[in-house]
Amino acid sequence: MTSIKEKQNESQILKKQYAARHCYNCAELFGVLSWICCIVIAIVPFVFENDTTNSSAYLIALLTIFEFSFDNICQWYIKIGAALRIYIDNYLFKFGEQEYYGEMSLNTLDCITNIVIHLHKKTYKKQIENSETDKISGVKDWYVLDESLTPYDEIKSCQLSNINYDSVITKIHFILTISLIIGFIATIFKADNHGLLLCAFLSIVIKIVNYIIDINRYNKCKKHIEHILSQIEVVEYNVEIAKKLQEAINHRRQLNVVPFSFIYYGYLNLKEKICSDIN
């Protein structure tokens, strides 16, 4: 029986893994641009403190249009990336075929994958030849697995690595969201034309509300995952528990949370450096 360690390097999986990474990278780019717009919006009233022409309010209105556009593009890429990762895990774990993966059919995912690869041929070739630990990070050997693991232990190891990644990313996002709320309140009190500014801030208000909803959903999902993990300590890990855990992971993936991977990997490198210095 082919192990996950081998199956993850099949051509079709490497293609989709690359497409998923590309989509998450794009989501991260547009997510960062969205946050930059929010930060600039919060700074504008302080820079144009003595503005009597309302130009600062109109500038904020323009920035909110960009922020809204960037945020929606980011969410679109997250949906595609999540759907691709859902398919990949479903295939590797042999959980059976599905009509839809997330919100997309397999035909749609195949089409998107082919378009991404066609537009980024050189990057794709480098990515499928390299692993995560290489100087130029790639998608080969995505899951780091020991050859001695049993099939269920392989699935468990893969799922735990996904859970650990999601947990750190969401903590980062929670801090940024709180910072945005504080900046938003400070700007409202600082600005003179509150009515016009509130209209301009509409997309940011929606962003804050949506993020609070997503954080609440994440917390519920996290508790559900923790409950499933506690079951593993009591009963033997089996296919039923594995599918329950995967369903929770897939639900978490589809939440509109920007994957700030550069912060995550920076955190890992710092942690590794501290541990090496201690040892």
Q: What is the pLDDT of residue 113?
A: 96
* Three-class SS state of 136: coil
* Three-class SS state of 131: strand
Q: What is the C-alpha to C-alpha distance for residues 76 and 88, in angstroms, rounded to an integer? A: 19
The two three-digit tokens of residue 226, written as one number: 């923790």
Q: What confidence tens digit (pLDDT) does each residue in 28-79 have?
A: 899 889 888 877 877 777 777 666 566 777 787 888 889 889 989 999 999 9
Chain centre distance of CA 204: 20
Confidence band of 259 (pLDDT split at 50, 70, 90): low
The β-bridge partners of 101 are 104
Closest CA to 222 of 163, 159, 161: 163
Q: Is the dihedral of CA 173, 179, 182, 186 positive or negative?
A: negative
The two three-digit tokens of residue 11, written as one number: 């051509």
Q: How far apart are the first and last CA of the chain?
A: 40
Q: What is the C-alpha to C-alpha distance for residues 132 and 130, in angstroms, rounded to an integer? A: 7
Cβ-contact 84, 139 below 8 angstroms: no
Could you tell me the pTM of the whole model? 0.82
User: What is the average per-residue pLDDT within 223-249?
Assistant: 84
- Rg value, the chain, Cα: 21
* Three-class SS state of 179: helix
Q: What is the C-alpha to C-alpha distance for residues 165 and 172, in angstroms, rounded to an integer? A: 11
Question: Which residue carries 């780091």 as its tokens?
Answer: 144
Highest mean pLDDT of the ranges 44-53, 82-91, 210-219, 244-253: 82-91
Q: Between vectors from CA 142 to CA 277 and to CA 119, what angle results, nearest 5°?
A: 120
The two three-digit tokens of residue 244, written as one number: 């329950």
Q: What is the pLDDT of residue 161?
A: 83
Q: What confidence tens digit (pLDDT) does each residue in 133-156 have?
A: 777 778 898 888 888 888 888 898
